[in-house]
Structure 1
């Protein structure tokens, strides 16, 4: 059975139409590749590693011609799109416009016409950082061809969930390195370094060296190996925030960023323990509003902190934070996460946002 989202031609003269899906996410395309591919594909999203993998899959290992989206014009493509490759006897040549956002903006009418009646000699692929779903081009490609969203952040619109991302890491990514990755290890990786697939794959490749073929990469190994000095520094930042030592928190944060860590990857590491402290504070607040006081140990347990040593450390940090800052942790972290993936994703702005967040959280009441 062909996957939903394609219109394929059978042997008869009448087209066999499958139900149309507006979008396919990269996880599905890479793990369940379709039997036949369309003549036009738009590959877009913030995760450049996923985009690269999807484009490779769409090219099927055949002849590839690439153009730079910042400089190419439609007249540069016309002859190539009409000419079959002399070398791909069993498949189509792929013609790719890389970083095609500017190209799409300037050549939209020509692209809409081509999507309505594409050539049969080649496969035309647009590589984009974004593609608005309310445009005629998006609708034309999604309706008759293929649109692939390449982002690993959970999003109902693209069909990505924490569960599907975990399955992708444990299956597709781990197999690239002949590794066996446990589900809780995959979750720990996302907690510690974020959801960017390229960074996650790099860490899985490193972890695979610590296990013999067939042995499982588990959560303790992840926390021991991936953390390293960087993990220790993150804990120092957390402790400095809890104690209200903004200067120390900023020193340690600068150490990590000077070592090459990006703010989008650092935030989940810093947020991992602080989020649990915020959850524990919320549990205490909720029970008190109901007139049912709760022991701090029980609130920490409800927030996922169970080990005796961790409980003692968390109690110390909560006392340092105080009730006022503890109540603000969850909204502060959520706001920072949304901004880093949106308005403050550019270099410079992302660092400013993370430094601002650390200063705010570390400021003593």
Structure 2
């Protein structure tokens, strides 16, 4: 809460729209690149956005166009990202982007290694359940997975299952099992290194 106003932190996938609305209401004029940077930097920490906008307004004044270069020093440290940004980056096959999302989940998001492993295991377990099956659409996938309400998440799982196929989906679960043992002390490596290797390998599965 700031200045008597309740900040809705449950904006989820609508973060970009919410932040653009906040910018419009703030009296600060940001160029497109600055708004994009503000959105990416905020991540899950949407409560910080109004403070950043207030700072920009005090520095540059109202109704003055502020560029990304001018705004950058005031954006603060990058916030955490929601888990689906990590799994989406993995599914794109872009290991570098996936590792960046992992870093923000670990550092800014404060998530424990085993929490991230559990997120990834749940994600790929859903994919494996669908891989190799003749499923026509997201609604059928949602029914099989037991999802209630929106079929959006099931549709994403189905899309990944079609990309990976049965063999690569099983390989993903195998990689996750190996990482679980490593995090429990079998490898002697630091947890961050284990997760980085895992995320890179999962990303490469989508390129095979």
Output the TM-score relative to the length of structure 2. 0.51
- State the distance in 1 between where 2:167 and 2:92 align: 13
Match of 2:144 among 302, 307, 327: 302
Helix, strand or coil: the match of 1:261?
A: coil
- State the distance in 2 between where 1:314 and 1:295 align: 13
Q: Deviations over 1:31-55 (max 9, x none)?
A: xxxxxxxxxxxxxxxxxxxxxxxxx
- State the distance in 1 between where 2:135 and 2:84 align: 27
Following TM superposition, by how much is the alpha carbon of 1:241 offset from its aligned partner in structure 2, in angstroms?
1.0
Aligned to 2:68: none
Helix, strand or coil: the match of 1:279?
A: helix
Match of 1:275 among 108, 115, 125: 125
Tell me: CA distance 1:279–1:330, structure 2 relative to 1, closer, same or farther (3 Å).
Answer: farther
Unpaired segments of 5 or more residues in structure 2? 1-9, 13-43, 46-78
Mapping of 1:132-151 within 5 angstroms?
Answer: none
Following TM superposition, by how much is the alpha carbon of 1:248 offset from its aligned partner in structure 2, in angstroms?
0.8
Following TM superposition, by how much is the alpha carbon of 1:276 offset from its aligned partner in structure 2, in angstroms?
0.8
Aligned to 2:87: 238
Q: How many residues align?
A: 131
Helix, strand or coil: the match of 2:83?
A: helix
Aligned to 2:186: 343
- State the distance in 2 between where 1:314 and 1:294 align: 11
Following TM superposition, by how much is the alpha carbon of 1:274 offset from its aligned partner in structure 2, in angstroms?
2.3
Following TM superposition, by how much is the alpha carbon of 1:329 offset from its aligned partner in structure 2, in angstroms?
2.2
Helix, strand or coil: the match of 2:185?
A: coil
| Higher helix content, 1 or 2 | 2
Q: 2:142, 2:155 within 8 Å by CA — same for their partners in 1?
A: no
Output the TM-score relative to the length of structure 1. 0.31
The Cα RMSD (Å) is 3.2
- State the distance in 1 between where 2:163 and 2:80 align: 21
| Higher strand content, 1 or 2 | 1
Give the number of the structure with larger relative contact order, counting CA–CA contacts within 8 Å between residues 6 or more apart. Answer: 2
- State the distance in 2 between where 1:321 and 1:338 align: 24
Helix, strand or coil: the match of 1:268?
A: helix
- State the distance in 1 between where 2:181 and 2:94 align: 26
- State the distance in 2 between where 1:231 and 1:312 align: 25
- State the distance in 2 between where 1:257 and 1:355 align: 11
Q: 2:81, 2:105 within 8 Å by CA — same for their partners in 1?
A: no
Considering only CA atoms, is the larger Rg found in Structure 1 or Structure 2? 1
Match of 2:193 among 352, 355, 362: 352
Tell me: CA distance 1:318–1:243, structure 2 relative to 1, closer, same or farther (3 Å).
Answer: farther
Q: Deviations over 1:175-207 (max 9, x none)?
A: xxxxxxxxxxxxxxxxxxxxxxxxxxxxxxxxx
Mapping of 1:47-62 within 5 angstroms?
Answer: none
Match of 2:114 among 228, 239, 264: 264
Unpaired segments of 5 or more residues in structure 1? 1-220, 285-292
- State the distance in 2 between where 1:294 and 1:258 align: 38
Q: 2:93, 2:203 within 8 Å by CA — same for their partners in 1?
A: yes
Q: Deviations over 1:189-228 (max 9, x none)?
A: xxxxxxxxxxxxxxxxxxxxxxxxxxxxxxxx9x9xxxx5
